[in-house]
Structure 1
Amino acid sequence: MNHDKPKAVTLAQFTAMSVPTVLLILWTMFAPELGGALELGRTKLTIWATTFLLVPALAFWLFRTMNQAIANLGYLFWTGAWVVFLLHAYWAIFIIFDGIADTFVQQGTLIAGGNFFLLAVWTLDVALIWLLPARFQSFWVQLIARLLAFLIFALTLVVLRGGAIQILGFIFTGILVAGALVRAIVQVPAARVET
């Protein structure tokens, strides 16, 4: 059975993703009101929130062949993380920096280019997942988008940051590398197709 597209998403599955996503968005918007630089706080917290949502998104995607419910959760969390990443991109590009050109000046071509490329690939992947029929889904587009997200987040959080966000980066990277190793070592049974 092909699990490259969400199918028959249940209310429980949607709720499992939407409740933490909404709570994280509320946290990113209101926690900075308690002190510190408001807009910078929102920009930083949206990356934290995206990271929190990427862990289940990528972990469920690794094991999506087990059954459609796991696949659905992977796609839902991937979409929720994308929404929060869009908020981050908005705050970073238009509030912290003065547009796209200034983002490249302030962050440098490599970091800004990587972030914009991730945003474009992630947006394309989410659009393909939710808008196209299953026969048009591409494992390779999904794999590339997820590998790119993992690599950019892991490198940024672990190598380019320090403090608590770096600890989150190590946790993020460790959980997903362990999941990938389990997936590679253990034969994960594919769901049986009933005829």
Structure 2
Amino acid sequence: MTRDKPTALTLAQITIVNLSAGLLIIWCMIAPELDGDLEMGRTRLTIWATTFLLIPALGLWLIRTAGQTVANLAYLFWTGAWVLFVLHAYWAIFIIFDGVADTFVQQGTLIAGGNFLLLGVWTLDVLMIWLLPARMQSFWFQLIARLLAFLIFALTLVILRGGAIQILGFVFAGTLVGAALVRAIVQVPAKVTET
């Protein structure tokens, strides 16, 4: 059985992810009210929140063959992180910057281009996961989307940022590199039956 598509979702699985994403969205919208820079605060916190959800999304995806529950949670967290990334992109493009063209001017072609590429690939991946049948799922596209997300987040948070967000970047990168190494060393067996 393939683990390239969520199936047999349970209320508990959906609740865990929706509650996590919902609380993070509330935090992103309310916490900046206590600070002086409302719009920039929301933009920054939405990237933090995306990172918080990407850690379990990518980590669980690495071991999705352990069972359908693990695979389901990986796809749900991936989708929740995407929702927060879309919120971040909206806030950055249309609130902080004055549209797509100004985003390229302000961020430069390399950074803005990478962010728009990630937004497009991630959106396509989420749509494919939820709308296409399992036989049409592509492991390679999922792998590329996740590697792109990992590389852009790790490089941006670790190299281009400083302070607390850089620490989160090191936690993000370190956790996922460690998970990938464990996955490479200890093959996670696919379960024959679900309990």
The residue that corresponds to 1:169 in the other structure is: 169
Q: Which residue of 1 aligns with 2:40?
A: 40
1:84 positional shift: 0.3
Query: What does residue range 1-195 of structure 1 map to in structure 2 within 5 Å?
Result: 1-192=1-192
Q: What amino acid does structure 1 have at the position aligned with 2:138?
A: S
Equivalent position amino acid for 2:66 in 1: M
What amino acid is the match of 1:49?
A
Letter in 2 for 1:129: I
User: In structure 1, what is the Cα distance between the partners aligned to 2:141 and 2:107?
Assistant: 27
Q: Offset of 1:193 from its aligned partner?
A: 5.6
Shift in Å at residue 35 of structure 1? 1.6
CA RMSD in angstroms comes to 0.8
**Equivalent position SS for 1:173:** helix
CA distance in 1: counterparts of 2:141 and 2:31, whole angstroms? 35
CA–CA distance in structure 2, aligned partners of residues 156 and 127 of structure 1 = 25
CA distance in 1: counterparts of 2:187 and 2:45, whole angstroms: 37
Q: State the alpha-carbon separation in 2 of the partners of residues 21 and 193 from structure 1.
A: 30
Letter matched to residue 130 of structure 2: W
In 2, the alpha carbon distance for the partners of 1:166 and 1:46 equals 15
State the TM-score, normalizing by the size of structure 2.
0.98
How many residues in Structure 1 have an aligned counterpart in Structure 2? 194
How far has the Cα of 1:16 moved from its partner? 1.1
What one-letter code is carried by the residue in structure 1 that aligns with 2:156? T
Q: In structure 2, what is the Cα distance between the partners aligned to 1:130 and 1:49?
A: 22
* Structure 1: gaps (5+ residues): none
Task: Read off the aligned partner of 1:73 and give its amino acid letter.
Answer: L
Distance in 2 (alpha carbons) for counterparts of 1:41 and 1:193: 46
* Aligned-pair CA distance for 1:187: 1.7
Alpha-carbon distance between aligned partners in 2 of 1:89 and 1:189, rounded to the nearest angstrom: 37
- Structure 1 stretches of 4+ with a deviation exceeding 4 A read none
Give the % identical residues: 76
